[in-house]
């Protein structure tokens, strides 16, 4: 897609970097010669992905992005090496499923903390390390723009991602661009959880029923895969998108068109 070295000497921070979309994003940035700082809370997943990618330009950091202490420690390590952050990919996110009447405050707080507070903390403490031409890419979701049952809290958090993106685009212009990508239904662990939950709670009879419901609403007729989202992230961070800021781009096979 691009020249091999377009991100050479660029430091790219990817939160949730050990997950489905995050690891595909780390891999693609590495392929384009970036120095990648993978941030994730899950030690085991980090170990696996480190082994799989086995790349000299990959550094991994085990931290919880909802902890300001963890986040500050992480950026202090970068600042101590006198490095800049060229691109910050706020990808870490969690989803649970429940009807609003059954949703616990604990569940609400978990989703808001990771999807919004974590993004805020990772952004706030990166700002002093940005330079002219840096960018932030936040991961929202089709759930922000298309209502669905069982995920009112998740939908609200992902709408929040879009609001945060727009406000930050104003605050950081003209030096730093801030955009979001809204993935549709992506083949990762996250959708398996939803399939299992819907069957367990009697909303659908089988995996086939859940998948039919989803696929019927995707004009391209297929799920998108983590590397499709990674390609979009890399593209929006590149100079090819130098005139785009405050935008949210759908990568949903047409499921969302606004």
Ligand X SMILES: NC(=O)c1ccc[n+]([C@@H]2O[C@H](COP(=O)([O-])OP(=O)(O)OC[C@H]3O[C@@H](n4cnc5c(N)ncnc54)[C@H](O)[C@@H]3O)[C@@H](O)[C@H]2O)c1
Give CA–CA dist 159/138, Å, rounded. 12
- Compare residues 67 and 244 and give the one whose CB is closer to ligand X: 67
Catalytic residue among 32, 37, 75, 154: 154
- Compare residues 3 and 106 and give the one whose CB is closer to ligand X: 106
Give CA–CA dist 9/44, Å, rounded. 28
Strand partners, 224: 186
Tell me if residue 60 falls in helix, strand or coil. Answer: strand
Is 154 designated active site?
Answer: yes
Which residue has the CB atom at the shortest distance from ligand X?
19
At its nearest, how many Å lie between ligand X and the CB of residue 51? 15
- Compare residues 40 and 129 and give the one whose CB is closer to ligand X: 40
Contact 219, 250 (CB under 8 A): no
At its nearest, how many Å lie between ligand X and the CB of residue 191? 5
Give CA–CA dist 44/187, Å, rounded. 20
Q: Is 38 exposed, middle or buried (0-12, 13-18, 19+ CB in 10 A)?
A: buried
- Compare residues 33 and 193 and give the one whose CB is closer to ligand X: 193
Give CA–CA dist 249/258, Å, rounded. 9
At its nearest, how many Å lie between ligand X and the CB of residue 30? 17
Tell me if residue 182 falls in helix, strand or coil. Answer: strand
At its nearest, how many Å lie between ligand X and the CB of residue 185? 5
- Compare residues 183 and 253 and give the one whose CB is closer to ligand X: 183
Give CA–CA dist 123/89, Å, rounded. 9
Sign of CA dihedral 184, 185, 188, 190: positive
Give CA–CA dist 174/54, Å, rounded. 36
At its nearest, how many Å lie between ligand X and the CB of residue 5? 27
- Give the residues lining the site for ligand X (CB under 6 A): 15-16, 18-22, 40-42, 45, 64-66, 91-95, 114, 118, 139, 141-142, 183, 185-186, 188-191
Q: Would residue 78 be called left, alpha or beta, if left means φ above 0 and alpha means ψ between -120 and 50 degrees?
A: alpha
CB atoms within 10 A of CB 53: 17
Give the catalytic positions in this structure: 154
């Amino acid at each position: 897609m691009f020249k091999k070295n377009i991100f050479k000497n660029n430091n790219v921070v990817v939160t949730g970097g050990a997950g489905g979309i995050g690891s595909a994003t780390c891999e693609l940035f590495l392929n384009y010669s970036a120095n990648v700082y993978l941030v994730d809370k899950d030690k085991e997943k980090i170990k696996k992905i480190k082994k799989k990618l086995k790349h000299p330009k990959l550094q991994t950091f085990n931290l919880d992005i909802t902890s300001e202490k963890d986040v500050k420690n992480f950026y202090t390590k970068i600042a101590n090496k006198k490095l800049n952050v060229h691109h910050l990919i706020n990808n870490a996110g969690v989803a649970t499923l429940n009807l609003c009447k059954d949703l616990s405050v604990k569940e609400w707080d978990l989703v808001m903390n990771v999807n919004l507070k974590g993004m805020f903390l990772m952004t706030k403490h990166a700002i002093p390390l940005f330079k002219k031409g840096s960018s932030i890419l936040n991961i929202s979701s089709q759930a922000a723009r298309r209502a669905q049952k069982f995920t009112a809290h998740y939908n609200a958090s992902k709408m929040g991602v879009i609001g945060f993106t727009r406000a930050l685009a104003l605050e950081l212009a003209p030096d730093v661009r801030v955009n979001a990508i809204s993935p549709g239904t992506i083949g990762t662990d996250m959708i398996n959880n939803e399939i299992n939950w819907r069957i367990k709670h009697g909303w659908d009879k089988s995996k086939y029923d859940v998948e039919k419901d989803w696929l019927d609403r995707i004009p391209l007729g297929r799920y998108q895969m983590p590397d499709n989202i990674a390609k979009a992230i890399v593209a929006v961070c590149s100079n090819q998108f130098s005139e785009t800021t405050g935008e949210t781009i759908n990568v949903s096979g047409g499921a969302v068109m606004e």
